[in-house]
């Protein structure tokens, strides 16, 4: 037996250490185009490879140009034969920086993940604006989902533990077992309902769509398994006996298997059913140990001292075996979800690893209390030197710590495993724009972070605090309203922010649609009043590949690389203060002039307010604009569309001397 156990342990460790780690949360493993890639020709599609299969029906991929306009030609779809890949076809696009925003829902466990990255066509996405890549994020663990999982785990542990106690410890029908079985099943059912509600809120789709999706299938299967367990509990209530308890335990074990299959273990790319089996055995061993503790505490009532001593001794041996199984299977799962020894540093720099360490710490506390029972309380009761009260206190403490273990597990299952995070693509941390302001009465201070702070898609994070104390404001609503100076036709787009921890409110959107000085009105709704905090900032434009040519007594010529080898030449004539003519000429890769179907231009001067630059067609690909310039720094921005729909977006800057 020892040899078999040793061989199995070595084989299992080999599988875990050499096999593919579990994904659990669909993070980006790679993409085509890659993050921060500089392309010479526009791509026909964007293809993303994730760390685990996403649900195509609930996952979203958007591709935005620098104005925030979507350029995808259709919805994201799964690549045939590649379950971990999604692709989205693109409309004809020209030069510029494009931002890919994505949100996936895992087909395995329904976890939501989102992020963004950028690529450039003829224009580098890195440089002055550094990067428009947003690191992958997952929603913070939902308290409702954590509570639901806690209730599901604890209820199923009590149901499954009843069988072990019935046949291996008490060896007689459980006394007063019906109320406990009914309560345990009701707790599990309530937990599953909470999980469904939390999942629907996280994914943000109607309940019917969620349950009909691949991600919702795991919840449906768990519901069926729990319904079968409910039938078994009902039968045990009407026809109590050892057979009915056996049926309850079998149904609870089946429900545990369905839950293991819908969790992190089910996300393994290889040896999936081995991982699911290990997780299932882990859950069963926990049920025997923790669920058995509750039955032991209840079953000692009304029994003779001799019977109690025998029950305690038998449970002590059973709990010791269960403890060993929990430790071994837990090690297997930890290695699978964290990685091999080289990845153990992930325990200290990921949320998953830190939560796992907390769970292990609680487990060690349980082991210490179990050892006290095994080597102090049990022999003392058997020899009459200790009272049963000491055992009850220790068992009560074990149940309390076990509740903490289940709570940590509820949080742990919502976090991406450390190995999954390590295997995901690591984008460059974006630059940010941070602005700080307060209301007129200096009662509220707002610190607004705009990431990456460029024209197009951005993430907004507002920290709302009391002006005097610096403590978070107890606000019920925070919203942002935007306006661009001198451009009333853009209206006043707004974003409602979502409340997070420590006075932080977050949201995202593409309201920054044009360069210029944007005013932001932050509305903070408090229980009895509301205040507005005015802010303003200038978004950045992505850098370009540009050549500058100058000659004495000649205008400075700016040659800007566009997609597909095309280019734009721009210059200001004569380039001094006063009346000037701005020239824009587009060229094909061959050097011939590129005909343009339509074009618009704006100019941004020292005042920081963008103004329309009326264009006059001089040739099929040559436009001019007459304008009056004052001394200072000026930026000229043109957006042009060819006859076949290719869009060119470019700008150049020039200093006008006084």
What digits encode the pLDDT tens for the residues 416-469? 554 444 444 444 444 678 888 999 888 999 999 888 787 766 889 999 998 888
37-51, 166-180, 399-413, 454-468, range with the lowest pLDDT: 399-413
Percent of the residues in the chain that have a pLDDT greater than 70, as a whole number: 70
Q: Give residue 521's pLDDT.
A: 94
89-103, 369-383, 468-482, range with the lowest pLDDT: 369-383
The distance of Cα 94 from the centroid of its chain, to the nearest Å, equals 31
pLDDT digits (tens, 9 = 90+) for 239-269: 887 888 888 888 888 888 888 777 655 555 5
Peptide bond into 274 cis (omega under 30): no
Model pTM score: 0.50
The span from the CA of 447 to the CA of 452, in Å, is 15
Q: Give residue 346's pLDDT.
A: 56
Q: Is the pLDDT of residue 22 over 50?
A: no
Q: Give residue 534's pLDDT.
A: 94
15-19, 203-207, 306-310, range with the lowest pLDDT: 15-19
62-89 mean pLDDT: 85
Angle between helices 292-299 and 177-203 (to 10 degrees): 150
For the chain, domains (ranges, CATH) are 2-121 (2.60.40.1220), 143-423 (1.20.1630), 433-537 (2.60.40.10), 546-656 (2.60.40.1930)
Element (H, E) at 153: helix 143-164
CA-nearest of 504, 525, 533 to 444 is 533
CA-nearest of 63, 83, 81 to 73 is 63
The distance of Cα 375 from the centroid of its chain, to the nearest Å, equals 46
pLDDT band at 129 (very low <50, low <70, confident <90, very high): very low
Angle at 157 between CA 153 and CA 158, to 5 degrees: 125
Q: Give residue 363's pLDDT.
A: 66
Torsion of CA 535, 541, 542, 544, to 10 degrees: -160
Q: Is the pLDDT of residue 360 over 80?
A: no
Q: Give residue 328's pLDDT.
A: 81
Average pLDDT, the chain: 76
Local structure of 638: helix, strand or coil: strand
Q: Is the pLDDT of residue 383 over 60?
A: no
pLDDT digits (tens, 9 = 90+) for 328-348: 887 767 666 555 555 555 555
Q: Give residue 351's pLDDT.
A: 56
pLDDT band at 14 (very low <50, low <70, confident <90, very high): very low
Comparing 236 with 374, which gets the higher pLDDT?
Answer: 236
Q: Give residue 551's pLDDT.
A: 77
Angle at 270 between CA 266 and CA 276, to 5 degrees: 30
Contact 224, 177 (CB under 8 A): no
Percent of the residues in the chain that have a pLDDT greater than 90, as a whole number: 14
207-216, 392-401, 419-428, 612-621, range with the lowest pLDDT: 419-428
521-536 mean pLDDT: 90
Contact 188, 159 (CB under 8 A): yes
The span from the CA of 228 to the CA of 183, in Å, is 16
Tell me the two tokens of residue 357.
């360490």
């Amino acid at each position: 037996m020892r040899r078999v156990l040793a061989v199995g342990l070595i084989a299992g460790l080999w599988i875990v250490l050499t096999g593919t780690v579990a994904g659990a949360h669909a993070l980006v493993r790679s993409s085509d185009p890659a993050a921060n890639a500089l392309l010479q020709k526009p791509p026909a599609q964007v293809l993303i490879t994730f760390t685990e299969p996403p649900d195509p029906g609930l996952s979203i991929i958007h591709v935005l140009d620098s104005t925030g306009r979507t350029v995808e030609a259709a919805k994201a779809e799964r690549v045939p034969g590649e379950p971990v890949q999604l692709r989205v076809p693109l409309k004809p696009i020209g030069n510029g920086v494009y931002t890919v925003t994505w949100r996936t829902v895992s087909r395995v466990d329904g976890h939501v993940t989102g992020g963004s990255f950028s690529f450039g066509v003829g224009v580098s996405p890195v440089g002055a604006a550094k990067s428009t890549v947003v690191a992958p994020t997952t929603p913070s663990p939902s308290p409702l989902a954590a509570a639901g999982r806690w209730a599901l785990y604890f209820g199923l542990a009590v149901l499954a533990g009843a069988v072990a106690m019935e046949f291996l410890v008490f060896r007689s029908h459980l006394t007063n077992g019906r109320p406990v079985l009914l309560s345990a099943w009701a707790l599990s059912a309530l937990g599953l309902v909470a999980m469904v509600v939390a999942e629907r809120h996280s994914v943000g789709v109607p309940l019917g769509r969620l349950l009909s999706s691949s991600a919702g299938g795991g919840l449906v299967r768990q519901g069926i398994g729990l319904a079968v367990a409910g039938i078994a509990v009902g039968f045990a209530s009407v026809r109590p006996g050892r057979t009915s308890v056996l049926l309850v335990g079998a149904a609870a074990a089946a429900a545990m298997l369905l839950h293991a299959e819908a969790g992190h273990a089910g996300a393994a790319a290889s040896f999936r059913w081995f991982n699911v089996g290990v997780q299932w055995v882990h859950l069963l061993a926990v049920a025997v140990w923790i669920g058995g503790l509750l039955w032991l505490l209840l079953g000692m009532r009304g029994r003779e001292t001799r019977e109690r001593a025998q029950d305690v001794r038998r449970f002590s041996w059973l709990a010791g075996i269960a403890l060993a199984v929990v430790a071994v299977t837990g090690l297997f799962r930890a290695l699978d979800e964290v990685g091999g020894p080289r990845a153990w540093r992930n325990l200290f720099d990921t949320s998953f690893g830190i939560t796992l360490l907390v769970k292990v710490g609680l487990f060690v506390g349980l082991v210490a209390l179990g050892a006290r029972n095994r080597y102090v309380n049990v022999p003392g009761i058997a020899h009459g030197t200790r009272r049963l009260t000491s055992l009850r206190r220790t068992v009560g403490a074990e149940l309390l710590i076990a509740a903490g273990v289940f709570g940590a597990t509820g949080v742990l299952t919502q976090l991406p495993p450390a190995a999954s995070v390590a295997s995901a693509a690591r984008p460059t941390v974006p630059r940010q724009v941070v602005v700080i302001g307060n209301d007129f009465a200096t009662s509220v201070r707002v610190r607004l972070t705009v990431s990456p702070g460029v024209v197009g898609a951005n993430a907004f994070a507002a920290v709302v605090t009391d002006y005097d104390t610096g403590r978070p404001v107890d606000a019920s609503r925070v919203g942002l309203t935007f306006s661009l100076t001198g451009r009333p036709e853009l209206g006043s787009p707004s974003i409602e922010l979502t409340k997070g921890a420590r006075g932080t409110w977050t949201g995202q959107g593409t309201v920054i649609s044009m360069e210029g000085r944007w005013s932001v009105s932050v509305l903070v709704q408090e229980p009895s009043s509301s205040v507005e905090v005015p802010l303003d900032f200038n978004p950045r434009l992505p850098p370009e590949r540009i050549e500058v040519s100058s000659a004495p007594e000649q205008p400075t010529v700016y040659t800007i690389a566009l997609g597909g080898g095309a280019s734009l030449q721009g210059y200001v004539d004569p380039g001094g203060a006063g009346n000037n003519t701005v020239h824009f000429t587009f060229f094909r890769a061959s050097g011939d002039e590129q005909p343009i179907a339509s074009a618009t231009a704006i100019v941004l001067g020292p005042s920081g307010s963008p103004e329309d630059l009326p264009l006059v067609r001089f040739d099929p690909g040559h436009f001019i604009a007459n304008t009056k310039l004052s001394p200072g720094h000026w930026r000229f921005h043109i957006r042009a569309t060819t006859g076949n729909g290719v869009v060119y977006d470019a700008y150049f800057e020039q200093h006008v001397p006084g």
